[in-house]
Structures are given as C-alpha cells and as structure tokens.
Amino acid sequence: MASENLQCLKKYIGPLLCLHVVLLSSLCGIATSQTIVTSLPGFEGDLPFTLETGYVGVGDSNSSQLFYYFVESTRSPSEDPVMIWLTGGPGCSVLSAFFLEIGPLAFTYVDYNGSLPSLHLNPYAWTQGLNIIYVDSPVGTGFSYSTTQEGYYIDDEGAVDQIVEFLRKWLLAHPQYLNNILYIGGDSYSGIPLPIVVQKLFDGNNAGVAPYLNLRGYILGNPKTDDFIDVNSVTPFAHRLTLISDELYESTKESCGGDYVNVDDNNTGCVTDLATIDQLLLQINTMHVLEPNCQTALPNNREEEGRRSIRELPENFLTESTPALWCRYYNYVILGVWANDHSVRKALNVRENSIGVWKRCNKSIAYTKTVTSSVEYHKNLSNTNLRALVYSGDHDMSVPHIGTQEWIRDLNLTNSEIWRPWYVDGQVAGYSEKFSNVDYNLQYATVKGAGHAAPEYKAKECYAMIDRWLAYYPL
C-alpha cells in the first residue's frame, strides 16, 4: 500500500524532511529511483537545463512503477512553483506534452529523414518559470509499468490514488521542493482525475497527512469534465463553426430537445438529425476543425471513429504512408521513433524489459472510466482558497469550449472580471473572464485559433498566458 511507505518514512524520519529518500526507501522497499540526465540522443551537447528521470512505486508493494521526467525551472528552481503535469487519453504518455506542448525540447521535423529525430530547445517552454514533473500516468502509460498483470486493471479512482501517492512520495524524495508553491496541471482527459487529485491533496493537508503540500491551485486545458456536457456541446459547436447548417441545427435542437447524448431510439427525428450531423463531421479533424484530417492521408486506415471519440493516430502511420509533413500528427510518429530508440531508453534510464513498444497512447490498458463528471469536485474546490486556470483552444471540437464554459457557469461563482481580450505582441490571443467565490478564483481563457492541446497550436500565446497567471498578473 502507498500509505505503508509513507508510514514507514514517517516512522523512521519523523516530521523532519527526508534528504536521502532513495536510501531510506530501501528500508521500505524500492519506492523511488532517480537519475540526472545530462544529455539526450538527438540533442547536441549537454542539456542546458536539469532533467531528472525516474520511477516512483505506488500501490501494493509498489507494484505500479510510475515513470516521470522532472525539469527544473531555468529561472529560479528554489523559488518557482512546482507543477505536476498530467496528460489525457487515458493512456497517453506525458512525452506528448513534453515535446509537443509545454516541455523544454521540441523535435526539428523539417527535412526529417526517418533516422533518430533531432531536438531543439522550445522557446516557449513552461519550464522557464516552473519546476515541472511530467508523469506517465496511469500505470501502463508511456514508460510506466506494473510488476503484476492485475496492476493494469485500473479505473479513475485508482488513477487518482496513484497520482496522489506518486506526488507525496516524489516530494518526500525531493524535500527541497516541499516549500515551493504547488500546482496540479493537465489537459484533455486529465480533466476527470485532476480535480479529484486536487481535492484529495487539499483534504490530506487538512487532515494533517504528511508531507504538508503547499498547494496553491490547478490548471486545466480543454479538460474533459462531464460526459453529458462535453459531448452535448459538440452539436452547437459544429453549428457555430458553420460545419452544419442553420436549418439542421434548428431541426436537431427541436427534434432532440437539446439533448444530443441520451437519445431515445424511437425518436427517429432526433436519430436521423444526429446521423446527418455525424456524416457532416466525419472527415473533420476534431482536434482542430481547420486543420487537415490526417486519417484521410492514410491508405489503410479509413476507419471512422465518429464525433464522440477523440481520434487517435494509428501506429502504422510512418511505415504505411508517404510522410505527411503537412499533418500535425506527424509529430506523433517522430515521437514514437525517438521513444522507441534503444539509445533513448538508455539515456532516460528506462528499465530494461519493463515495457515493450512505447506507444504515444496505449489503448491496451484495461482502464475503466468510473467517473462520468468532475463538476462536483470543481464545486467543492470552489469553496477552498485555491486558484484555477482553465483554458480552451477555441477550435477544438473534441472538448469544445462551449461545454467547458457551461460547467464553469454551473459552478454559480461570481463573475468577478468580465469577458475581455488578452494580448500577445499586441494581437488578441483570446478572451478571458474571471470567476470567484470568497477565497477561490477561477480564470477562464480562450486561446484564439488553437485546437485541443492549445500549446501545440499557439505555443507563444500559451506560454505568455501561464507566465502571467503564475505571476498573478492579468492575462
């Protein structure tokens, strides 16, 4: 049990900070391991930032080994906040965020020739002002693995427990960060576990669980939040982006009574209208409605997934099709080539034979979605003293901003700062508004022209957004 290790640590080192967790943890079974990585295949020379990789064992007998990448802030690690970053899926590796969204490195994919991809520094890395723990969660994701078969059977609550345990253990193993402000961040499907993680950490603090966490708030990008609200918002979103006609939208609103999720099969008008909408949206890139749909470039993969699922890239993308550099998903292919290279795994200190092929999104984990909505957790959190930043790439149809704005409205907070543009380089980067409740506040921002993982599309703007928000500066 996770708490066994914590109890063990508390028993041996008491409330004082543990400075040698790796050694101490050997007293209680291998809970954490960590190495500083000074160079990475594809990047010329030494890394100009501190990268640590490692495992934290969680669950029964630490049978779940969660892999993480920790990047120290390049500004002032001791003063800057710590943020743990979670990705979606569930089952998508945090390397997506690391290389394609907010990490310190990015692939140089122009003229990519099929060999080991080369890397360059990301000028818009969020690690410029944050110490970020990028974690592959839940177990089965990225380089995280379980020592038991049952370990891969996990649900939302189990994933939450793993993250909470991971974070406590990681901080115990890095006591120098225990006093830093702590943020919990993530996007996409992490909108489900993340607010619960925040709630548990907050409750733990109140209950006196050690270590005390300097939890300040949470950050969510295009977060999956509510099965009904999110999916139901796809239809009005498609209408607003003129992908379905005014007439069809009006007809569907009426025939379905505004509910496009719980459809009575006998309601033929609604069923027919929704089927028509599905057809109209079939070839749209749900992650960004203006970008090409990469699936259509794949000769052997014309399987359609429909509008209610977040599309995934087939693993044969590189081998079975002409390199489609115009396609943003091509990054995913390059990422796979890199992560599956032997030299890379060695450099990252990935344990040998711990996993087979690294997959950007592992669909084979036996994950059960047990939480259909995290709105209640947001409601609870709105009674704390935490702060939240929620942002939406406004061209994302997989988790449309319309749904996100709806559940934020449902929190019944005070609209403390009205809708206004926010700027980067004198350009409107999006719009923002603020909501508050006593000591709690939530800032909502759209990222104009961005898709599902907003920093993937608008890196500079998103970096400015997080940098200002962290500094308590207006967006």
Residues forming the site for a copy of itself (CB under 8 A): 239-248, 280, 283-284, 289-290, 292-293, 296-297, 394, 401, 405, 415, 418-421, 423, 425-428, 431, 433, 446, 448-449
Q: How far is the CB of 416 from a copy of itself (least distance, A)?
A: 14
- Token pair listed for 63: 């049978």
153-155/366-368 β-pairing: parallel
Minimum Å gap between C-beta 344 and a copy of itself is 33
In whole angstroms, how far apart are CA 86 and each of 82, 132, 271, 425? 13, 10, 36, 29
Distance between CA atoms of residues 418 and 457, nearest Å: 26
Q: Which helix (H) or strand (E) holds 242?
A: none
DSSP letter string, 247-284: HHHHHHHHHHTT-SSS--TT-HHHHHHHHHHHHHHTTS
Dump the DSSP string for 150-206.
Answer: GGGEEEHHHHHHHHHHHHHHHHHHSGGGTTS-EEEEEEGGGGTHHHHHHHHHHHHHH
Is position 416 annotated as part of the catalytic site?
A: no
CB atoms within 10 A of CB 176: 12
With respect to a copy of itself, which residue has the nearer C-beta, 161 or 394? 394
Q: With contact defined as beta carbons under 8 Å apart, do 216 and 183 qualify?
A: yes
Residue number, 240 or 468, with CB nearest to a copy of itself: 240
CB of 378 to a copy of itself, least distance (A): 19
User: What is the DSSP pairing of strand 105-108 with strand 118-121?
Assistant: antiparallel
Nearer to a copy of itself, 277 or 453 (CB): 277
Q: Is 432 a catalytic residue?
A: no
Q: Which is nearer to a copy of itself, 196 or 447 (CB)?
A: 447
Helix, strand, coil % over all residues of the chain, rounded to 5: 35, 20, 45
Instruction: Considering the complex, state which of residue 111 and residue 246 has its C-beta at the smaller distance from a copy of itself.
Output: 246
Q: Is the link from the previous residue into 211 a cis peptide, with omega within 30 of 0?
A: yes
Rounded least distance, CB 426 to a copy of itself, Å? 4
Min dist CB 245 to a copy of itself, Å, is 4
Comparing CB distances to a copy of itself, the nearer of 203 and 410 is: 410
Which among 396, 398, 401, 432 is annotated as catalytic?
Answer: 396
Q: Is 396 a catalytic residue?
A: yes
Say how far apart CA 326 and CA 334 lie, in whole Å: 14
Q: Are 452 and 287 in contact (CB under 8 A)?
A: yes
Residue closer to a copy of itself (CB basis): 226 or 394: 394
Q: H-helix or E-strand containing 311?
A: none
Q: How far is CA 98 from CA 95, 419, 427, in A?
A: 5, 31, 27
Coil, strand or helix: which one is 428?
strand
The active-site residue out of 64, 137, 146, 188 is 188
d(CA 46, CA 37): 9
Least separation in angstroms between CB 50 and a copy of itself: 34
Active site residues: 188, 396, 452
